[in-house]
Structure 1
């Protein structure tokens, strides 16, 4: 055939046949399989046929089933680790003498970090913490200004160090023992959480009143402060919900202007306003109107 060369692959199937073979096979045995499926074991999902159970592998399959050989002499010992699902995995374990062995010169050479090339160092941005320093920068002498800026900041002349403790405590005071009276006075005063005194008998007062307080006489200043605050002379109390209407108000007649203002504003409903094209029509006089200075002043927002 045209285009075929020795050693190349040729497929005699058509594209329709390839699409048909690419579709997954529908297992008919699984539709009739009604037994309960238990996960975690080595049982198959559907029962195997008798020919599958009695089949023998070919020499090629046996060759492919063999594990890959390990040619490293230091990893000959293996330790088997059993997973919880029943599968066995092989974990390599190195011999104990491997930690004490010295690396060869080739391993030391390969362990050295890779050096950067000069062209790469020149192309790197200055934001990188490392860049090549020219010889002129290494051998240059600092100017007086650079030496002045390199000096550390001196302490302020008015700076004062922490002062020492003025009171020196003697050893006798440190080793002294407080008497029981001092320990009693050093204890904090215990107060009750309640703001009222405990009431005993019903005849007793809420809190005890001393005899001197009962016989005390208030001074003129105390009497003056005890007076209640007077209401302002311009104070008007709240009116009642009902008050008498005067005779003139009952016989009053509303003017035509008041009657006109008292009528409610008539507006069409929202449904009719949506279909009215002139509902939001602006008059020509409103377009040519000029705001007064007062309206412009009121239009400014409140500054806060």
Structure 2
């Protein structure tokens, strides 16, 4: 019986889950009103037209201008041996530089190509700046050639001291090898008796050990403790005026049970009753129009403001 109820519960949960999935699969509805809607409703991701095409537009013949605009652009690569696909022009593809044919290489260049191949000339007021060229990004190294006079000159003491490499510290020790090489004399020697004694493992007896309980002698039982032992065995006392912790439950005295409360205590024990905000803010005359307002004439400015904005 319990198994049947459990299966029924699972079926109900499955049905509710399917209904929830159907609700979540519906597209989201726009939260727009008719006065804020910029145009007709169109669902994203479909091929529906924003506005339906009338039948008269479908039956009318296209004009010459529309036919001309709908004609695709002429492909000038047709009829040639070279036909560059879009693969060469897409991002990250091969270079668009094509191989030059032998006919083009054997022909003479025109004057226009010679003019275009000339490099751009410098300005008339241009002045060469060697330092800027040497220290600019991507240029040659700023190290320049040494003059012959400087190469033939004698060395100075300061130049010699500066050219001397930095020496190591007097207490510097080079890195030791990972593997320590044992000399052959240490390998062939016989160890002493002390080394053999220290090399032996520690002896741990297997027992029998003394039991944790042992008999106390009669003399120890009949002995009396000294005053110092009695003083050390005395527990620590509490301070004067110490009161132990009170119990959680205690008996109420009869006088407290027979006592009666005063009128002041009855008055203070009454709860404060406050009216709810619905009753406080309720105004039955909020939507009543006065008779003078019903007989009045609406001015033209109020009529203009009451007209909705046309969007």
TM-score after normalising by structure 2: 0.28
Q: Which structure would you say has the larger RCO, counting Cα contacts within 8 Å and 6 or more residues apart?
A: 2
TM-score after normalising by structure 1: 0.28
